Amino acid sequence: MANIRYVKVADKKEAAEVVLERMREELAGGLEVLGLATGSTMEPIYAAWADSNLDFSRVISFNLDEYVGLGADNPNSYAWFMNHHLFSKKPFKETNIPDGTSGDLEEECEEYEARLRDAGIDLQFLGVGENGHIAFNEPGTPFTSITHLTQLTESTLGVNSQYFEDRSEIPETALTMGISSILSAKKIILIAFGEKKRHALEQLIKGKETTKYPITALLSHPDVTIITDLDGIK
């Protein structure tokens, strides 16, 4: 698959170094709009950016998703995560995160999709779920999907429960960029660590697109880089 480049790293520290150098290149090349992800995979990445001399003051960012019902002051919200790990340390020209507290979630999705389409994402960062989801596009999500309200699966809720003191506090719905929204980015970098992500990556290697594994939508994208610590993934 000529469109997908695999980069093997020893650990998260090396991955952060690789991504840091890639960001230097992208910014020097005129990157203006950056798609961002959340979660533990991104923490060392953002820590490296925060400790660097990277300048994001001319960059507009769009985040992949947000839980419904959690405001930016909630430590479990992705808005809080981004402010804590990156935005409070590195100023951006503009930041965009779906508003999960909006009184009209459908309208929020439409407006968010319109903004990101107008801006045009130069580079999008992604993680992948154990069940193959990208952003919060769960198995079965059409590849034509745009920003939408989604119901989270038991698999995703189970994995994400580690971040909540009480599982009952986990929102069961979220706003997420759709698969089509993600594929509109000029370049994509997906980062995956640990054996729990092997099954999802193996579906990509098989080279067959299927909505059962949303990650396989990346097969149709012209410029994807996969960064992983897993052996035998190429």
> Catalytic site residues?
65, 131, 133, 138
Query: What is the layout of strands, in order, in the sheet containing 148-151?
Result: 65-67, 173-176, 148-151
Nearest Cα to Cα of residue 225 among 125, 138, 133? 125
In one-letter notation, the amino acid at residue 142 is: P
CB 169 within 8 A of CB 204: no
- Please report, for the chain, how many H helices and E strands are present, in that order: 7, 10
| Secondary structure (3-state) at 171 | coil
Helix (H, G, I), strand (E, B) or coil at 131: coil
Q: Which residues of 167-197 are buried (b: 16+ CB within 10 A; e: fewer)?
A: eeebbeebbbbbbbbbbbbebbbbbbbeeeb
CB 68 within 8 A of CB 149: yes
